[in-house]
Structure 1
Amino acid sequence: MNLSEQLAVTAKKYPDKTAYVFQHKETSYFELNHAVSLFASGLASLGYKKGDHVALVVGNSPYYVIGLYGALRLGLVIIPINPLYTSSEMTYIVKNGDVKAVITMDVLLEKFHAIDDQLPAINHYIVCDSEKNVSSPLFLQEKTKAFTEILALGETSFIDPSLDQEDLAIILYTSGTTGTPKGAMLSHKNLYSNAKDTADYLTINNQDRVIAALPMFHVFCLTVSLNAPLMNGGTVLILPKFSPTDVFQVSKQYQATIFAGVPTMYNYLVRSGKEMVDHFSTIRLCISGGASMPVALLKSFEEIFHVKVSEGYGLSEASPVTCFNPLDRPRKPGSIGRSILHVENKVVDEFGEEVQVGEVGELVVRGPNVMLGYYKMPEESAIALKDGWLYTGDMARMDDEGYFYIVDRKKDMILVGGYNVYPREVEEVLYAHPGVSEVAVIGVPDSQTGEAVCSFVVVNDSSITEDELLEYCATYLVKYKIPSTVEFLEELPKNTTGKILRKNLRSHTRN
């Protein structure tokens, strides 16, 4: 079984039930499944076949859901990309991912117009209408097809190709410690098993209405807020983007039962205060992931809204969920919970041997959700996957009841609002500036996003300003990766071997 087949099964079981709501329009499971088949058939009529790679550069919308499931039904490999990425970031992923077609919004065509000459393998840009009357650049018109045109090309008699559960389904690009994004290869089995096991563990059923306010290109939303509810006949309440006002409004109007978000979102909801309590009166469960939730925030949210928050843990390489706080017993604040169904977690030492209860070591994961490896990166794959276990790089401990606690994160990684930012990636951009001779980047506490990116630079031109460097970064980095501050130093602190002492930099940060 795979996600596309499961959708067809669910549509047959609940044809008239609402699969999703977007901008107050309800779409049934029958309508969704029908559109998915038409889109798959339409892509096939353009010559796309099983195994071809397609980028999905679309925000939260029906286009994303139909595009994702339609491409999967045809056996294509989907590469979700953040629509806010710069042209430089998109170019790398599209080229490295061997993409043949891009599904995107009309408002992004100018961005692709600027880089199309660097993407000779692209045959089509399949364009979704944003209703902003954006026309295709003349240069791209021969390659441009409207999303609705693809649906019109489809035939209801379309026969799905035979898919194996180990076939590649999605490549999720994550920032690499070397600054080069790595494509985590997820199979149909990976995606299906994690959606099913997550739904079963959290008892997501056909009566649930799940708010999808997280970005769908992020694996957290993909599995927990989209695939899991569609697995069991639930309804997805799609929001184009997160807004406390919109979350409360849609929750009250459609009697939402589940909300999933990162700690930053919960912080904004708490700020809205007690006047919004009744808007969450039907919510039975809140889910937090992407970053550790401060215990004080968790307690404040639960005291105000009278709903339990189940904190969990996951990573792209594990599709992503490995742990959640169980619902049938008291939750442990500060813990990421216990292993979900069919997934094993353990803590090991540097030799791969399991440590004693309470001792700190590296968290490793095994299960049907663990990736196939990194796309075209065999050496990186061998480092991450050993003897069937995925080495997460996160330091953790386990208590005597099987609850896990993350005590430190991957070396030097910065978590900005739930998104991974690796210092090396930002440093590479700053190093490319002709006026910068040395640079180091660290994460600093931030009340809004959990952490913020702080850069320290040594320049060879005293006229260079902070604003100039921030503008430079904005050309090459998505917004959450851009430093919040730039600190100018005469020299960076180093040890006797010349290694930069990042921990010493914290004393230089602004208060």
Structure 2
Amino acid sequence: MNLTQQLHETAKKMGNKPAYYFMDQSSTYAELDGAVTKFADGLSKLGVKKGDHVALVLGNSPHFVIGLHGALRLGATVIPINPIYTPDEIGYIVNNADVKAVVTLDLLVPLVEKMHKALPKVEHFIICETPQGQASELDSASLSVYPKMKSFTQLVASGDLGFQGPELEEDQTAVILYTSGTTGKPKGAMLTHKNLYSNAKDVSDYLHMSEDDRVITTLPMFHVFCLTVALNAPLMNGATILIDPKFSPKEIFRIAKKFEPTVFAGVPTMYNFLLQYQDGNPEDLQSLRLCISGGAAMPVALLQVFEKKFNVMVSEGYGLSEASPVTCFNPLDKPRKAGSIGQSILNVENKVVNELGEEVPVGEVGELIVRGPNVMMGYYKQPEETAATIHDGWLYTGDLARMDEEGYFYIVDRKKDLILVGGYNVYPREVEEVLYNHEDVVEVAVLGVPDPNLGEAVRSYVVSKNPKLTEDQLLIYCAEHLAKYKVPSSIEFLDELPKNTTGKILRRALKNQVIQTK
């Protein structure tokens, strides 16, 4: 069994049930499954075959759901990409992933027009029409000038409901998720059909999701947290997803009041915004049976205040792209432990080890490693990175953790220098590479600092050879080359950066300086 086959089976059993609501309009499982089949056939007619790579540069929308499952049904590999990435970031992933077709919004047509020559491997740009877009962007004249452009709507309309996709092997790559690497360039985690199906099923079973659930899907669909927990897991058992294009407290409360959701999944930042929203009425969330938090550690104080105000349990979990992503969740049938990421979910093993890979005693800190059917095949075209991350079937997460006597895990710190901004991963090296490219920058160090709203913020320390260079100039430069959440919140100029005897820049010394000045 795989995700798209499961969707088809669900549609046969409960075809008239709403699969999703979007902009207050519903679509049944039968309608969704039909659109998926027709899109798969449309892709096939364009020459996309089993094993080809299809990128989805989309936000939360039916286009993403149809594009994802349609490509999977054809046997293609899907590469989800954040649509707010800069042209440089999008271009790198599309080229590195050997993408044959790109599915994107009509709002990004000007970007496509600028980038299509820089993406020679891409044979088709499939444009999704949106209410905010301009219909004139996709008229016949435009399509004739840019023959690689195709209409998503027309592609689905021309598809055949009788299309029979190829047989899919469980160890075939289904999705490649790009995550920042130690080199500063994103690396693609190859997730198989088995990886994604097993994790969606195990999460769905673990959280007791059923056809009676209505799940608010406001986390970004291109992110693995949403992909499994708020999209594929609900669809696994016939639940209804309530698609929110962009998170805002006002819209969440409106959706909750209108559709009476039973499950909400978000990162701690979202919970903080919901808690601080002055017009938020606790009664509007009374239908929720469960709130799920992940992407970053949730402050215990925030968790407790949120639960008290809205009278709903928040279950924290843990995951990473390389594990499809979920490995731990606080169980629903046992006491929830504040500050813990919970216990191992079904069919997944977690343990804490020392530098030799030996399991450490209960309560001791070590590196968290994971094994199970959800662990990735490896990194795309990066065998050395794969070998450094997976040993004897165990995925080394790079996170420091401890386990208590009841098998609950706690993340203590991050072994790597990862910065979590509102649940999004930011690696210092990636930001440093951009700043180093500025002609006036001599040295730079980037680290994460506490932020009351986002959990962490990016701070940069720069040594410049131009005394007239300003913080604003560098911030504008960063904004041109980095996604918004990766742009530093502040830049401090120093005469020199702290280093050890070998000349290595000491981030820890800078972090200690931040702590001392608080």
Q: TM-score range by the shorter chain?
A: over 0.9
CA contact (8 A) 1:429 1:473 kept: yes
Q: Quick check: 1:133 aligned with 2:134?
A: yes
Q: Quick check: 1:334 aligned with 2:300?
A: no
What is the CA-CA distance between 1:128 and the residue it aligns to? 0.3
For residues 262-320 of structure 1, what are the alpha-carbon distances to aligned partners after superposition, in whole Å with 9 as ceiling and x for unaligned? 00000001112585101101000000000000000000100000000000000000000
What is the CA-CA distance between 1:410 and the residue it aligns to? 3.4
Provide the rounded CA distance (Å) in 1 between the counterparts of 2:311 and 2:342. 20
Matches within 5 A, 1:74-153: 74-131=74-131, 132-133=133-134, 135=137, 141-153=146-158
Provide the rounded CA distance (Å) in 1 between the counterparts of 2:280 and 2:480. 41
**Paired position in structure 2 for 1:29:** 29
Provide the rounded CA distance (Å) in 1 between the counterparts of 2:436 and 2:134. 40
Provide the rounded CA distance (Å) in 1 between the counterparts of 2:83 and 2:41. 25
Matched length: 511
What letter matches 1:190 in structure 2? N
Q: Quick check: 1:184 aligned with 2:194?
A: no
Q: 2:271 aligns with which of 248, 266, 270?
A: 266
Provide the rounded CA distance (Å) in 2 between the counterparts of 1:391 and 1:140. 49
Q: Quick check: 1:51 aligned with 2:56?
A: no
- SS where residue 99 of structure 1 aligns? coil
**Paired position in structure 2 for 1:40:** 40
Q: 1:312 aligns with which of 293, 317, 320?
A: 317
Provide the rounded CA distance (Å) in 2 between the counterparts of 1:141 and 1:460. 44
**Paired position in structure 2 for 1:347:** 352
Q: 2:211 aligns with which of 203, 206, 209?
A: 206
Provide the rounded CA distance (Å) in 2 between the counterparts of 1:347 and 1:113. 49
Q: Structure 2: which 5+ runs fail to align? A: none
CA contact (8 A) 1:185 1:375 kept: yes
What is the CA-CA distance between 1:422 and the residue it aligns to? 0.5
**Paired position in structure 2 for 1:235:** 240
Provide the rounded CA distance (Å) in 2 between the counterparts of 1:32 and 1:274. 35
What is the CA-CA distance between 1:126 and the residue it aligns to? 0.3
**Paired position in structure 2 for 1:162:** 167
- SS where residue 327 of structure 1 aligns? coil
Provide the rounded CA distance (Å) in 2 between the counterparts of 1:138 and 1:467. 40
Provide the rounded CA distance (Å) in 1 between the counterparts of 2:145 and 2:157. 21
Question: Against the structure 1 CA distance between its residues 125 and 361, is the aligned structure 2 distance closer, same or farther, given a 3 Å change threshold?
Answer: same
**Paired position in structure 1 for 2:397:** 392
Provide the rounded CA distance (Å) in 1 between the counterparts of 2:243 and 2:460. 36
What is the CA-CA distance between 1:140 and the residue it aligns to? 5.7
Question: Against the structure 1 CA distance between its residues 273 and 299, is the aligned structure 2 distance closer, same or farther, given a 3 Å change threshold?
Answer: farther
CA contact (8 A) 1:45 1:153 kept: no
For residues 12-32 of structure 1, what are the alpha-carbon distances to aligned partners after superposition, in whole Å with 9 as ceiling and x for unaligned? 111110000000111000100
- SS where residue 281 of structure 2 aligns? helix
What letter matches 1:193 in structure 2? S
What is the CA-CA distance between 1:505 and the residue it aligns to? 1.2
Provide the rounded CA distance (Å) in 2 between the counterparts of 1:275 and 1:31. 34
Provide the rounded CA distance (Å) in 2 between the counterparts of 1:92 and 1:141. 22
What letter matches 1:167 in structure 2? Q
Provide the rounded CA distance (Å) in 1 between the counterparts of 2:325 and 2:506. 32
For residues 408-459 of structure 1, what are the alpha-carbon distances to aligned partners after superposition, in whole Å with 9 as ceiling and x for unaligned? 1132110000011000000000000000000000100000100000000000
CA contact (8 A) 2:317 2:326 kept: yes
Matches within 5 A, 1:293-308: 293-308=298-313
Provide the rounded CA distance (Å) in 2 between the counterparts of 1:393 and 1:273. 39
CA contact (8 A) 1:441 1:454 kept: yes
Provide the rounded CA distance (Å) in 1 between the counterparts of 2:109 and 2:93. 17
CA contact (8 A) 2:274 2:280 kept: no
CA contact (8 A) 2:250 2:280 kept: no
Provide the rounded CA distance (Å) in 2 between the counterparts of 1:295 and 1:139. 57
Matches within 5 A, 1:427-506: 427-506=432-511
- SS where residue 449 of structure 2 aligns? strand
- SS where residue 351 of structure 1 aligns? coil
- SS where residue 334 of structure 2 aligns? coil
What letter matches 2:9 in structure 1? V
CA contact (8 A) 1:113 1:139 kept: no
What letter matches 2:338 in structure 1? P
Q: Structure 1: which 5+ runs fail to align? A: none
Question: Against the structure 1 CA distance between its residues 442 and 35, is the aligned structure 2 distance closer, same or farther, given a 3 Å change threshold?
Answer: same
For residues 107-139 of structure 1, what are the alpha-carbon distances to aligned partners after superposition, in whole Å with 9 as ceiling and x for unaligned? 112112222211111111000012221515678
Q: 1:218 aligns with which of 210, 217, 223?
A: 223
**Paired position in structure 2 for 1:66:** 66
Q: Quick check: 1:407 aligned with 2:412?
A: yes
- SS where residue 100 of structure 2 aligns? strand
Q: TM-score if structure 1 supplies the norm length?
A: 0.98
CA contact (8 A) 1:113 1:140 kept: no
Identity of aligned residues (%): 64
What letter matches 2:44 in structure 1? A
Tell me the C-alpha RMSD between the 2 structures: 1.2
Provide the rounded CA distance (Å) in 1 between the counterparts of 2:332 and 2:120. 50
**Paired position in structure 2 for 1:8:** 8
Provide the rounded CA distance (Å) in 2 between the counterparts of 1:125 and 1:499. 44
**Paired position in structure 2 for 1:423:** 428
Q: TM-score if structure 2 supplies the norm length?
A: 0.97
- SS where residue 446 of structure 2 aligns? strand
- SS where residue 67 of structure 1 aligns? helix
Mean Cα deviation higher: 365-374 or 146-155 = 146-155
What letter matches 2:385 in structure 1? E
**Paired position in structure 2 for 1:378:** 383
- SS where residue 249 of structure 1 aligns? helix
- SS where residue 347 of structure 1 aligns? strand
What letter matches 1:423 in structure 2? P
CA contact (8 A) 2:253 2:280 kept: no
What is the CA-CA distance between 1:156 and the residue it aligns to? 1.3
Mean Cα deviation higher: 111-120 or 28-37 = 111-120
- SS where residue 291 of structure 1 aligns? coil
What letter matches 2:313 in structure 1? K
